[in-house]
């Protein structure tokens, strides 16, 4: 429903005009009032409103719509109760992955687990390395936020990070360490930390309850049930994320500076990978074309210029413009891209299922009413060929400027 | 091919469906990488039962022999491997990233690196070159990305599914190859005294919890269509302006390199 409050000037005019035949109907009717003897009197006829088919409806939720009530925009966002831990009895330290500088769903599940372990007295500490773009630490359940900055932690520096976590260990002596058992850094950092601290961690944990934890063992054929150790590497969906409290996310600082060690592994940076060779199910950035693409040469050029993996809708594949293994959707590949750009795809439900796990969807389409535009975070209405050509130009200009800056 | 002294650590795997013993997938990839780097000079090491038939699948990849530190199934392999590697004079030790049977915590390469004092490269995909005792390697990242690292020899590397696929195991070489057992002191592992292994339970599926206080809200949540809500729609723009908006989003998300 639209949030815009609409006035009905005619109804207002009738309500002012005592001589109008509909005047009485336009008056605000009170459904209950205090009677002369102090009793509450009710007018049952004034309750409710006349629904669209002329039948009287009573909405007992309190959010009555229609009728003589003054219509207002939807109520503002409810403030969740603030959970304050002034003097924490113990700490639960979480080191989230922060892929792309934000808390991912795995990180939020982990914070939910930490919240469960912390109870009322403990504090959940999130340790974040370097810059971040997250602004919802409070609603994710972080009581204390420890941000460790310094150029030594930039890029791939697991040994330096383990040193910093060692400093956290000696400062807070946390009851539990929680790290995501993921390929994007958490699994490695957690195991390095375990080797450093001499703790035997529980890995791939999917349930922690009553001091016991259950984790997958071996190749996933068996479960290992054991007492919950200090260091837990938890799988995705290990607990429900925090949803009904707010937390302070009070900044915390390391008391002593982290010693700088000479890195034994030198990071030479990312290597350009041919996007066409990346399996589509795990590609990060997909440019997908559908029925609306008329100039396929231009489409391939755009994919090359953007460095995107190519995808296609079923129509494009059936018409022979793209190979079958590039089809995105229920009958093709279910993709997990962070950015999915759909050019000339109107968004059949099978296609939308296939891109359900994508973070950001960009749509370029002629039809402003299509389903893809309802799903997209950014949609541009217009001719796809012209927009792709302009995009290629813009990216080329950006790349040139980058080269000039570097030179 | 380089003249490095390489040791690959292998374990016995389990077939994902039948559970039968087989060569472990990731360990076979480690052996493959080692064969590509060192050829015949690759040494392969296993801690466990020397009579295990599944070990012959590694020999079938073209190895003349395989060293086995003879120990029962529940014993701790870490101290044995540490002392063996300290004396072996290896420059590169390759392992899989986690075992297919037993605990499978994936801690072994990390603990070995800690005890030996060597650097550890996780997810090795390719060794590009080795010069003056420094190796330049490619590390596999999620989403098919690669990162170039420089690391001093000797080092330890774990291999995951991004490494080259293991070659097929041939029957003849697998029969001809030698399994050499070494007598070692056995160290018991304390974990299984307090923890139990049980068949994997299917994980509970996460339900979509609707926190609605009233019936009307529940109805709305149940019948709601997947609508973008916050989606921004740009209409009647020049192609340049539209491209600029898309470009800005791509830069913000950091996918344009």
10 Å Cβ neighbour count for B132? Answer: 6
CB contact under 8 A, A270 and B257: yes
| Cα(A375)–Cα(A398) distance, integer angstroms | 29
Q: Which residues partner with A146 through β-bridges? A: A127, A252
The ipTM assigned to this model is 0.87
Whether A224 sits inside 8 A of B196 (CB atoms) is yes
CB contact (8 A) between residue A194 and residue B231? no
pLDDT for the residue A310 = 93
**What's the CATH number for A82-252?**
3.40.50.620
Please give the CATH architecture assigned to the domain spanning A275-406: 3-Layer(aba) Sandwich (3.40)
- How many CB atoms within 10 Å of residue B173? 15
Q: Tell if the CB–CB gap between A374 and B231 is shorter than 8 Å.
A: yes
> Which of A59, A377, A388 is facing B231, going by the closest CB pair?
A377
DSSP conformation class of B204: P
Determine whether the interchain pair A59/B216 forms a contact, defined as Cβ–Cβ distance below 8 Å: yes
State which residue of chain A sits closest to B114, comparing Cα positions. Answer: A195
Which of the 8 DSSP states describes residue B202? P
Query: Cβ separation of A277 and B136 shorter than 8 Å?
Result: no
Is there a shared CATH topology between the A82-252 domain and the A275-406 domain? yes
Q: Smallest Cβ distance to B249: which of A225, A360, A374? A: A360
- pLDDT tens, position by position, A48-98: 777 778 788 887 776 654 444 444 445 556 788 899 989 999 999 999 998
Of B166 and A3, more confident:
B166
Q: Which long-range contacts (CB under 8 A, 24 or more apart) does A198-202 make?
A: A199/A229, A199/A230, A199/A231, A200/A229, A200/A231, A200/B107, A200/B191, A201/A229, A201/A231, A201/A232, A201/A233, A201/B105, A201/B107, A202/A226, A202/A228, A202/A229, A202/A231, A202/A232, A202/A233, A202/B105
* Nearest by Cα to B115 from B86, B158, B74, B149: B86
Q: Is the pLDDT of residue A3 over 50?
A: yes
Mean of pLDDT values over A218-236: 91
Contact state of A224 with B257 under an 8 Å Cβ cutoff: no
B184: CB partners within 8 A, 6+ apart: B69, B70, B71, B80, B84
What local confidence, expressed as pLDDT, does residue A122 receive?
A: 93
Contacts of A188 in chain B (CB under 8 A): 122
- From A61, A203, A379, residue closest to B233, measured CB to CB: A379
Q: How far is A4 from chain B (nearest CA, A)?
A: 15
Full pLDDT tens readout for chain B, 257 residues: 567 899 999 999 999 888 899 999 999 999 999 999 998 899 999 999 999 999 999 999 999 999 999 998 888 899 999 999 999 889 999 999 989 988 889 999 999 999 999 999 999 999 999 988 899 999 998 888 889 999 998 999 999 888 889 999 999 999 999 999 998 888 888 777 788 888 988 888 887 777 777 777 777 777 765 554 567 888 888 999 999 999 999 988 888 87
For A76-97, b where at least 16 C-beta lie within 10 A, e where not — what string? eeeeeeebebeebeebbbbbbb
Q: So what's the pLDDT on residue B184? A: 86
In chain B, the residue whose alpha carbon lies closest to the alpha carbon of A244 is B211
Residue B37: the pLDDT is: 92
User: Which of A191, A215, A263, A268 best probes binding to B when mutated, by most B CB atoms within 10 angstroms?
Assistant: A191
Q: Residue A367's closest CA among A291, A310, A285?
A: A291
pLDDT at A145: 94
B91, B82, B86: which is closest to B37 by C-alpha? B91
Best of A224, A362, A385 to disrupt the B interface (most B CBs within 10 Å) is A224
Rounded mean pLDDT of A7-14? 87
pLDDT at position B208: 73
d(CA A126, CA A144): 6
**pLDDT number for residue B229:** 56
**Residue B87 in 3-state DSSP?**
helix
Q: Do B216 and A398 touch (CB under 8 A)?
A: no
What is the tens place of the pLDDT at every residue in A248-301? Answer: 889 998 888 888 888 888 888 888 888 888 888 888 899 999 999 999 999 999
Cα–Cα dist B254/B241, whole Å:
20
Tens digits of per-residue pLDDT, A187-201?
Answer: 999 999 999 999 999
- Is it true that the peptide bond before A102 is cis, omega within 30 degrees of 0? no
How is chain A split into domains, by residue range? 1-71, 82-252, 275-406
Would you say the C-alpha torsion A396, A401, A402, A407 has a positive or negative sign?
Answer: positive
Residue A202 backbone phi and psi in degrees, to 5: -95, 130
Paired tokens of B239: 């192609």
Check residue A70 and give its pLDDT: 46
Disruptive mutation site among B15, B103, B143, B193 for chain A (greatest number of A CBs within 10 Å): B143
Per-residue pLDDT at A181: 93
Instruction: Report the C-alpha dihedral over residues B147, B149, B155, B161, rounded to 10 degrees.
Output: 10
Average pLDDT over residues A217-230: 90
Contacts of A372 in chain B (CB under 8 A): none
CA–CA dist B61, B38 (Å, integer)? 14
Q: What is the tally of helices (H) and strands (E) in chain B?
A: 8, 14
Distance CA B14, CA A389 (A): 52
Q: Which residue has the tokens 């941000």?
A: A147
- Domain B6-194 carries which CATH code? 3.40.50.620
Q: What are phi and psi of B13, to 5 degrees?
A: -95, -175
Residue A376's closest chain B neighbor by CA? B231
User: Could you say which of B13, B144, B199 has the minimum Cβ distance to residue A282?
Assistant: B144
pLDDT in tens, A110-163: 999 999 999 889 999 999 998 888 888 999 999 999 999 888 888 889 999 999
Mean pLDDT of chain A: 87
The reported pLDDT for the residue numbered A66 is 45
């Amino acid at each position: 429903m639209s949030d815009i409050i609409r006035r009905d000037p005619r109804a207002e005019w009738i309500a002012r005009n005592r001589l109008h035949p509909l005047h009485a109907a336009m008056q605000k009717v009170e459904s209950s009032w205090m009677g002369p003897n102090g009793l509450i009197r009710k007018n049952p006829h004034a309750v409710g409103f006349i629904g669209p088919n002329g039948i009287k409806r009573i909405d007992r939720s309190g959010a009555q719509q229609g009728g003589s009530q003054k219509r207002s925009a939807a109520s503002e966002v409810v403030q969740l109760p603030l959970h304050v831990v002034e003097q924490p009895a113990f700490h639960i330290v979480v080191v989230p992955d922060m892929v792309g500088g934000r808390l991912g769903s795995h990180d939020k599940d982990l914070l939910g687990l930490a919240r469960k372990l912390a109870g009322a007295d403990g504090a959940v500490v999130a340790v974040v390395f370097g810059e971040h773009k997250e602004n919802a630490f409070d609603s994710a359940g972080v009581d204390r936020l420890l941000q460790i900055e310094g150029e030594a932690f930039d890029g791939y520096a697991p040994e330096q990070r383990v040193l910093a976590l060692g400093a956290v260990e000696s400062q807070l002596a946390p009851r539990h360490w929680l790290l995501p058992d993921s390929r994007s850094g958490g699994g490695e950092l957690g195991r390095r930390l375990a080797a450093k601290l001499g703790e035997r961690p529980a890995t791939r944990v999917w349930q922690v309850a009553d001091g016991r934890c259950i984790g997958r063992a071996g190749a996933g054929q068996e479960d290992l049930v054991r007492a919950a150790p200090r260091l837990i590497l938890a799988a995705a969906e290990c607990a429900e994320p925090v949803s009904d409290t707010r937390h302070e996310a009070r900044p915390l600082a390391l008391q002593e500076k982290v010693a700088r060690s000479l890195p034994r592994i030198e990071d030479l940076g990312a290597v350009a990978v041919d996007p066409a060779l990346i399996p589509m199910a795990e590609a990060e950035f997909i440019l997908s074309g559908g029925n609306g693409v008329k100039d396929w040469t231009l489409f391939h050029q755009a994919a090359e210029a953007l460095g995107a993996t190519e995808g296609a809708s079923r129509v494009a594949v059936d018409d022979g413009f793209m190979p079958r293994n590039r089809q995105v959707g229920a009958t093709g590949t279910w993709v997990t891209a962070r950015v999915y750009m759909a050019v000339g795809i109107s968004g059949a439900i099978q296609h939308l299922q296939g891109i359900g796990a994508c973070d950001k969807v960009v749509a370029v389409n002629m039809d402003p009413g299509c389903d893809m535009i309802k799903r997209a975070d950014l949609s541009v209405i217009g001719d796809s060929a012209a927009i792709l050509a302009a995009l290629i130009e813009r990216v080329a200009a950006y790349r040139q400027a980058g080269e000039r800056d570097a030179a | 091919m380089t003249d490095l002294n390489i040791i690959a650590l292998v374990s016995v795997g389990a077939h994902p469906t039948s559970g039968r013993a087989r060569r472990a997938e990731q360990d076979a990839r480690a052996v493959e990488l080692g064969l590509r780097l060192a050829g015949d000079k690759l040494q392969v090491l296993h801690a466990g039962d020397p009579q295990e038939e599944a070990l012959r699948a590694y020999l079938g990849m073209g190895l003349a022999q395989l060293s086995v530190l003879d120990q029962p199934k529940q014993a701790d392999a870490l101290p044995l491997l540490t002392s063996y590697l300290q004396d072996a004079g290896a420059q590169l030790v390759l392992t899989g990233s986690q075992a297919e049977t037993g605990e499978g915590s994936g801690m072994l390469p990390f603990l070995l690196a800690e005890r030996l004092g060597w650097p550890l490269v996780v997810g090795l995909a390719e060794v590009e070159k080795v010069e003056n005792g420094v190796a330049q390697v490619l590390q596999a990242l999620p989403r098919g990305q690669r990162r170039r690292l420089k690391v001093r020899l000797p080092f330890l590397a774990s291999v995951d599914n991004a490494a080259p696929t293991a070659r097929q195991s041939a029957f003849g070489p697998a029969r001809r190859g030698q399994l050499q057992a070494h007598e070692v002191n056995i160290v018991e592992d304390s974990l299984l005294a307090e923890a139990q292994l049980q068949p994997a339970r299917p994980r509970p599926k996460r339900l979509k919890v609707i926190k609605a206080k009233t019936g009307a809200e529940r109805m709305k949540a149940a019948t709601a269509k997947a609508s973008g809500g916050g989606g921004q729609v740009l209409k009647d723009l020049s192609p340049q302006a539209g491209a600029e908006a898309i470009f800005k989003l791509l830069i913000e998300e950091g996918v344009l390199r």
